[in-house]
Amino acid sequence: MINIAWDMTSFLGLTDHPGELLGPGVLIPPQAMRDLVADAQIRRLLFHPLTGELLDATPDAVRPSAPLAGFVALRDVNPTTPTAGPTGSAAGAGSGDLDHAIPRSNGGPTTRANLHSPTRRWHRAKTLAGWTVEHNDDGGWTWTSPVGRTYRTEPHDYRLGP
């Protein structure tokens, strides 16, 4: 499956903006997008027009469903882990782990607001080494070390392209 993002006004033919091939962030000209979507199976991704945050409603379950896991990877685009220094990652969000920010054992729900895409290294730091992660109101994530130092990640903004 190939994931592309394109604004609704261009999809409807009202504007002529390029689309984006998600992952590598390649821009696709409007006419090529029209050719691609003519025979494509469309998956609707709604994002907030002011913040660029991907929006969705998902059910609660013990294990994330495949659509929910796919949504989280599309929303996060890259791992939701600190990128400063050699521990950051530019890999796609779907290549890492899927983690409950508030663990299920502590009452954390299996929802888009509580799931994120850390790398395996940062997931283990949270699970085994005393780090915590919190979802911010703007869609970003704040990691707190065992000594209280914080690191913030920014959410992907679909309006900006790659």
In tens, the pLDDT along 5-27 reads 888 788 888 899 998 888 788 89
In tens, the pLDDT along 16-58 reads 999 888 878 889 999 998 888 777 766 666 667 788 777 654 4
Question: Which residues, other chains included, contact 8 with Cβ-Cβ below 8 Å and sequence gap of 6+?
Answer: none
Counting beta carbons within 10 angstroms of the beta carbon of residue 139, is it exposed (0 to 12), middle (13 to 18) or buried (19 or more)?
Answer: buried
In tens, the pLDDT along 54-83 reads 765 444 456 777 888 889 999 998 899 887
